[in-house]
Amino acid sequence: MGENELPFPFEFEELQPEEDELIKTAFGSAMYANYIRLGPKGYMVFKPYKKEAANIYNMPLRPTDVFVASYQRSGTTWVQELVWLIANDLNYEEAAEKPLTQRYPFLDLFMSFDENSKEEYIDTIAKTEENFNTEKFSQLLAYLVTPVTPFLAAVPLTTKRFIKTHLPMSLLPPKLLDTAKMVYVARDPRDVAVSSYHHAKWMKTTNFQGNFKEFWNLFHRALFSLTPYFEHVKEAWEKRGDPNMLFLVYEDLSKDLPASIRRVADFFGKQLNEEQMNRLCDHLSFESFKNNKSVNYEHLRELGILEKSESMIRKGKTGGWRDYFDDEMAQQAEQWIEDNLRDTDLRFPHMKH
């Protein structure tokens, strides 16, 4: 531990055997069920997180750093592209040339993959993919399991760093907002659950076997990656008044994109004229996003790791959860939301509270 480093303050705790069992049944194999709980809120992280937790907690920050943070499937990609374009004076050429994944190192990606599960991944994927190139996959896996903190530390000081994360604020450097900026995006958890369910089916390495009901059960009972969901959102919400924090909501972007764009532009001290606004709205529309190779992750298809019927930029709708929840689940969700909003002034603008 370096001289100025803080000790990592949280404990890791093994899951209860029943919890482990429930997860392993739904995921059909051990590789995506490798969880451990972290800290007083009990965040679910994958075991590889353990070795990197202190490095992330202590990562050196710069005043030019920009974090785009969220619970997964809340519109992160959308907000990443919006933030990057605003902060880089609408440099569409570079945005088209450089995939979003290169523009934004993803802080916690490494934890969702495990090198020890390589054979299991290969067996799972090879079952559905005739010409699966295991060599290419092995290279990809070696890249995916590597934490990005050393890479971020080596970025020249003259280069602005943009960082994607799904980690809650309490796992990030405690004084992050004293130095860096963060844009956080939240979304109706019912749509997050549906979107996460499809995401789990999209990535073959996840090997999710269950139906939506099973997925929802894991998600709302805080048995899925980086849940409990509401703790995650509340941590960012509590910081919404900080001048270095911008708290956005997916449903707001969806309802009135120009208004959210203006908030982002104000946050970065930029102004957009009407023509620039129109072009940006067009660029960020669901239709153009779906066809934008720089943001849609479709390049991963050639590796054979994606399910053909699923996609990263999927439906882009609010309230799509209604097609997935039966009455019992809808009531349960409503109660769960109400219970979790009781001790906070966090409100989702589209919900009737």
Which residues of the chain form contacts with ligand A3P (CB under 6 A)? 70, 72-78, 191, 195, 198, 284, 286, 289, 313-316, 320
Beta bridge partners of 181: 66
Name the minimum Å distance from CB 62 to ligand A3P.
25
Question: Taking the complex as a whole, how short is the minimal distance between the CB of residue 76 and ligand A3P, in angstroms?
Answer: 3
The count of C-alpha atoms lying within 13 angstroms of the C-alpha of 246, restricted to the half-sphere facing its C-beta, is 23
Q: How far is the CB of 323 from ligand A3P (least distance, A)?
A: 11
The whole-angstrom separation of Cα 62 and Cα 85 is 20
Tokens of 249: 């909501």
| Residue closest to 133 by CA, chosen among 14, 254, 343, 305 | 305
Beta carbon nearer to ligand A3P, 110 or 197: 197
Q: Which residue lies nearer to ligand A3P by CB, 22 or 68? A: 68
Closest CA to 260 of 315, 179, 183, 163: 183
CB closer to ligand A3P out of 223 and 312 = 312
Q: Which is nearer to ligand A3P, 57 or 324 (CB)?
A: 324
DSSP 17: H
Are the beta carbons of 243 and 226 closer than 8 angstroms?
no
Q: Whole-number minimum distance, CB 185 to ligand A3P, in Å? A: 7
Measured in whole angstroms, the distance separating CA 144 from the mean position of its chain's CA atoms is 15
Q: Which is nearer to ligand A3P, 28 or 320 (CB)?
A: 320
Q: Select 270 or 314, whichever has its Cβ closest to ligand A3P.
A: 314
Distance in Å, CB of 80 to ligand A3P, minimum: 8
Nearer to ligand A3P, 99 or 138 (CB): 99
Contacts 24+ apart (CB under 8 A), 217-221: 217/22, 218/22, 218/23, 218/26, 219/189, 219/192, 219/193, 220/189, 220/193, 220/332, 220/333, 220/336
**Cis peptide, bond prior to residue 48, ω within 30 of zero:** no
- Report in angstroms how near the CB of residue 3 gets to ligand A3P at its nearest: 37
From the CB of 225, what's the least distance to ligand A3P, in Å? 12
**Cβ–Cβ under 8 Å, residues 26 and 209:** yes
Write phi, then psi, for 163 (nearest 5 degrees): -130, 130
Quick check: helix, strand or coil at residue 256? Answer: coil
Q: How far is the CB of 232 from ligand A3P (least distance, A)?
A: 13
Nearer to ligand A3P, 77 or 117 (CB): 77
